[in-house]
Structure 1
Amino acid sequence: MKTFRSLLRQRLRRDRWQLIVWVLVIGLLAAFSAASLNNTYGTAQSRIEVMHLAIANPAILVLRGLPQGTSLASVTFFEIYTFLALLAGLMSTFLAVRHTRAEEESGRAELVAATEAARITPTVATIAHGLIANVLVALAVGLGFIANGLPAYGSFVAGAAVGGAGVAFLAVGLFTSQLMSTSRGANGLAAAVVVLAYFLRGIGDSIGTVKPDGVHMVSAWPTWLSPIGWGEQMDAWGTDNWWPLLLDLAFAAAVIAVVFVLQSQRDTGASLLAERAGRADARASLNGPLGLAWRLQWGTIVGWAAGGAATGALAGALASVVSSSIANDPTLVSMRKALASIGSGGTGSLTQIFITAIFSIVGVLAAACATQVVVRLRQEEAGGTAEVLLATPVSRVRWLLEFMLVGLFAVVIVLVAAGLASAFSAVGAGDSSSMIGASFAAASAQLPVSLVYLGVLSLVFVVVPNWSIVIAWAALGLGAFIGIFGSFVGIPDWLHQLSPFTHSPVVTGTGDWSGGIWMFAIAVVATIAAAALIRRRDFAIA
């Protein structure tokens, strides 16, 4: 028991700042969304209209949630719950991998296992740490809603829905740590599961059944495959069902039981999916940092490109159908404005506006791919492998810039994959060939945003390396939420303007690339500054 308490305190102390950031960000997003929605949809008529808009547009249901009424509280749950659950899931998987597979990878787990703590107690301490983190998230979400006048009981049901999803994904992170041989692989697989759960829930919501009142829906079966979908069924401020929380807890308990069985059967440092044996001789392409950077990250890049292609295919397949339904229904004329706000405004056909709006999500995927390149820079530095590479005739500037060049290639690959998938699916659905140009225009508009994240976060990595990973993912998450959905929920304009996604070039109508030009300039300046400053600092090994 004493070793358990010591290990739990060590985890809480080690993660204290990261945990504070995660809890505050998730809680403040809940509070801010509730306040903004109260200002934007304060009347019953406006809330009825927004529910009709959402139910008429499958894409919005995929991105937002399940309509469950028109009260201010129910609309708030519809708007923000799935995004908060996604963040809680990522927080939990990163936490699980950081204290399990990453500890084995660094060799610290073997040292701890040599003490009376053995191998089981550290895992139990990690589980307790994750539970505490998700309880804090649940409380922060509940208090954030209560602070904006929403009923207290339903607020804590909503918080429990978010925290329950986080607990389920904590178990997923522990399981992927058993499967994969590296923390990078475990994090990547766990994050992919979280995103898959998000979209499974979205697919189930989009093909669900509308109730006779026209403002409630029943999810289809794919929603029940997702912990995020289980939280939706708690119906905060509606029926306030607590039983779906038992699904989260039962799932977590079952997966954790499997984790303990697997951990007892393998050696420390080993994994169920062993790394393949390497070649006897390295390829010529690995003779420099560029080829090495590509080799280390090509699998991750393929994963982000697949996500971009799937989103692009969804945009192309649904564009004309959704646009026709909006154009033919006089009660849905404000949907054009809503879609334009998601896609950085602009004029043009409804089909073009719809594709541009959905490609904002592709922009998030491309920016995430660029962010992961910067994260890899920090991991190489913290793991000590960068210093080994720099002991050869490779300068720090070359090492940095060639990693960033891989980031540029990665962003282009994600956007091209999305553009091709959108064009082919649109033409396959019977749209005109002009949709090919619209798809690639929408994809190209996301390039400046991705390059801003690549350049600015590289500068952050050079200036504050120990904080670079936390800042990188926080900047991406907040930027995406504020930029893409900010105007939809009525956040202040000054805050909306802080997000790079707000300034994506407008490619519909006459078009406007002024925002893109400014972002290109910022990316170039940040890259030059990063290259200049990296020559003057010591490498910080974790």
Structure 2
Amino acid sequence: MNAVFTLMLQRIRRDRLQLLIWIVGIALLALFTVSAVDKAYGDPSGRQNILQLAVANPSILMLRGTPEGGGLDQFVFFEIFTFIALLAGLMNTFLAVRHSRAEEESGRAEFLASTPAGRTLPTVATIVYGALVNVVNGLFLAIAFIVGGLDAKGSIVAGCATAAVGLTFLAVGLSAAQLMRTSRGANGVAAAAVTAAYVFRGIGDALGTPSADHLHMTVAWWSWISPIGWGQQTLAYDQNTLTPLLLNLALTAAFLALVFVLQSQRDSGASLLAGRLGRVDARSFLSSSFGLAWRLQWPTVVGWCVGSAFGGLLTGTLAQAVSSAAAADPTVEKIMAGLIPGGKGSLVQLFISAIFVMVGVLAAACATQVVIRMRQEETEGTAEQVLATRVSRARWLVSYLTVGTVSIVLVLLSGAAASSLSSWAIGDTSAQAEDSFSAAAAQLPAALVYLTVLALVFVLLPGWTVGLGWTLLGLGAVFGLFGGLVGMPQWARDLSPFTHSPVPVGTSTDWTGGIWMLCIAVAVAILATVGMKRRELNTA
């Protein structure tokens, strides 16, 4: 037990900054949401109208969840729970992989295995540590809701639901670490599982059966195959039942049992899915620093492109459904206009622009992983081998910046192309295709800012690259995507590059924000390149 306790303390010390940002950020998001909903929808009749509109529009249910009453408490749960559960899932998968597969990649797991701790106790310590993190996260969330004035019992149920969803994805992340040979692959599989759970829950909600007053929903079976859906079915602030969380605990136990079985059957550093054998002779393309950087990164880029294409498909197929809902209720357009700053134009254009902000976040995430890969190459010592050739440090950095730029463009083009194809498939005009490509182009500057700023962090503070990279992206996404919905002050929203992305709707578009961000990205890239010339390699 002393060994487990020591390992837990090591994990807490290592993650203290990241976890503080995750847990406090989720709690503040919940508190802001309560305040914003109270100000914007304080009138019960107004909340009922919004819920009835949501029930009539499956696209809103897919993104938000299902309504369970018109009270302020139930409305807040409808507004924010599924997104909080998504964040909790990602937090736990990253945590699980960081303390399992990433440890094996770095060689630290092998050193620990040679001590009395062996191979089992570090995994036990990660599970206990992860469970403690989820309890704290659920507690902070419940306190935030209570401080916001919501019912205490419902707030505790919402906190328990979030903790249970997070615990399930902790086990999923540990299982992915057994399957994949690299931490990048494990993170990709685990994040895909979180996304799939969110999508299945969304499909089940969208296909659900509304009550006679259109203030409640009975979800379809799709929601019952999603851990996020199980958390939602606690019906916090309405029925307050914890029974669905037994499914979360059962699935968690099953995945953890699988983890110990697989770990006992494989060598340290090995994986259930073996890596593909390489070629005997390398292609000439790999003789350049850019070619090598692209070869290392392209599988990750493909994964982000697939996610972007899925977002594009949603955009193309649901845009006309939103337009039909607006014909039945003119307040829909007002709601959509509030999703993006400066939103003016047709409802379809507003919807496309709002969804492509999310695609822009995916592009920025892809760029973040490019820079993180560069940092991993440095810490693992492989960058030193590249720089032992005629490749200079500045050229090496520029190669990764080029790969990052290409990756951003490909992710945005994937979303725009999927949106256009889906709109053509349902018989829409070419106007929507033009709107999709314009909306994708509008997200390019913000993603480039994330790429270059993180590259500068890599040059100046290399040890902060991974933690600060995901933290900046997470905060920017929350402030940019949900700042307006949860009532954040304008100065806080302005901290996010996504807030300043052009909104290509209407007859004219103001590209000023995009031009300024492009100028900032170029200036920061030059500064990072100059700084890299003077910087020594740092493997610590």
TM-score > 0.5, shorter chain as reference: yes
Question: Could you tell me how far apart the structure 2 residues matched to 1:49 and 1:224 are?
Answer: 27
**2:180–2:272 Cα contact (<8 Å) kept:** yes
1:230 aligns to 2:230 (yes or no)? yes
**2:18–2:471 Cα contact (<8 Å) kept:** no
What is the aligned partner in structure 2 of residue 515 from structure 1? 513
1:465 aligns to 2:462 (yes or no)? yes
**1:397 CA drift (Å):** 1.3
| Cα gap change, 1:461 to 1:39, in 2 (>3 Å) | farther
Which structure 2 residue ranges, 5 or more long, are not aligned? none
**1:500 CA drift (Å):** 1.4
Question: Could you tell me how far apart the structure 1 residues matched to 2:335 and 2:87 are?
Answer: 24
Question: Could you tell me how far apart the structure 2 residues matched to 1:277 and 1:505 are?
Answer: 45
1:169 aligns to 2:169 (yes or no)? yes
**1:191 CA drift (Å):** 1.2
Aligned ranges for residues 202-281 of structure 1 at < 5 Å?
A: 202-281=202-281
Q: Name the amino acid aligned to 1:518.
A: W
**1:464 CA drift (Å):** 2.1
What is the aligned partner in structure 1 of residue 503 from structure 2? 506
What is the aligned partner in structure 2 of residue 64 from structure 1? 64
| Cα gap change, 1:333 to 1:459, in 2 (>3 Å) | same
Which structure 1 residue ranges, 5 or more long, are not aligned? none
**2:96–2:126 Cα contact (<8 Å) kept:** yes
| Cα gap change, 1:14 to 1:220, in 2 (>3 Å) | same
What is the aligned partner in structure 1 of residue 157 from structure 2? 157
Residue in structure 2 matching 1:377, options 370, 374, 378: 374
**1:490 CA drift (Å):** 2.4
**1:219 CA drift (Å):** 1.7
Aligned ranges for residues 22-41 of structure 1 at < 5 Å?
A: 22-41=22-41
What is the aligned partner in structure 2 of residue 111 from structure 1? 111
Tell me, what secondary structure is at the counterpart of 1:243?
Answer: coil
Q: Which 10-residue stretch deviates more, 374-383 or 91-100?
A: 374-383
Q: Name the amino acid aligned to 1:536.
A: R
Residue in structure 1 matching 2:444, options 444, 447, 454: 447
What is the aligned partner in structure 1 of residue 494 from structure 2? 497
Tell me, what secondary structure is at the counterpart of 2:338?
Answer: helix
Aligned ranges for residues 310-329 of structure 1 at < 5 Å?
A: 310-327=310-327, 329=328
Aligned ranges for residues 81-480 of structure 1 at < 5 Å?
A: 81-327=81-327, 329=328, 332-480=329-477
**1:481 CA drift (Å):** 2.0
Q: Deviations over 1:357-379 (max 9, x none)?
A: 22222112112111211221222
1:6 aligns to 2:3 (yes or no)? no
| Cα gap change, 1:11 to 1:213, in 2 (>3 Å) | same
Question: Could you tell me how far apart the structure 2 residues matched to 1:54 and 1:466 are?
Answer: 45
Q: Deviations over 1:366-416 (max 9, x none)?
A: 121112112212222222222222222211111111111111111111111
Percent pairwise identity? 55
Tell me, what secondary structure is at the counterpart of 1:412?
Answer: helix
Write out the 4+ residue segments of structure 1 that deviate beyond 6 Å after TM superposition.
none
**2:105–2:269 Cα contact (<8 Å) kept:** yes
Question: Could you tell me how far apart the structure 2 residues matched to 1:18 and 1:326 are?
Answer: 41
Question: Could you tell me how far apart the structure 2 residues matched to 1:5 and 1:118 are?
Answer: 14
**1:508 CA drift (Å):** 1.0
Question: Could you tell me how far apart the structure 1 residues matched to 2:378 and 2:217 are?
Answer: 49
What is the aligned partner in structure 2 of residue 529 from structure 1? 527
Q: Aligned residues, how many?
A: 539
| Cα gap change, 1:524 to 1:342, in 2 (>3 Å) | same
Question: Could you tell me how far apart the structure 2 residues matched to 1:201 and 1:484 are?
Answer: 20
Q: Name the amino acid aligned to 1:30.
A: A
Q: Name the amino acid aligned to 2:529.
A: A
**1:448 CA drift (Å):** 1.4
Question: Could you tell me how far apart the structure 2 residues matched to 1:292 and 1:57 are?
Answer: 47
**1:40–1:489 Cα contact (<8 Å) kept:** no
**1:17 CA drift (Å):** 2.2
Q: If the length of structure 2 is used for normalisation, what is the TM-score? A: 0.96
| Cα gap change, 1:334 to 1:485, in 2 (>3 Å) | farther
| Cα gap change, 1:532 to 1:348, in 2 (>3 Å) | same
Question: Could you tell me how far apart the structure 1 residues matched to 2:21 and 2:482 are?
Answer: 21
Q: Name the amino acid aligned to 1:291.
A: G
**1:195 CA drift (Å):** 1.5
Q: If the length of structure 1 is used for normalisation, what is the TM-score? A: 0.96
Tell me, what secondary structure is at the counterpart of 1:15?
Answer: helix
Tell me, what secondary structure is at the counterpart of 1:473?
Answer: helix
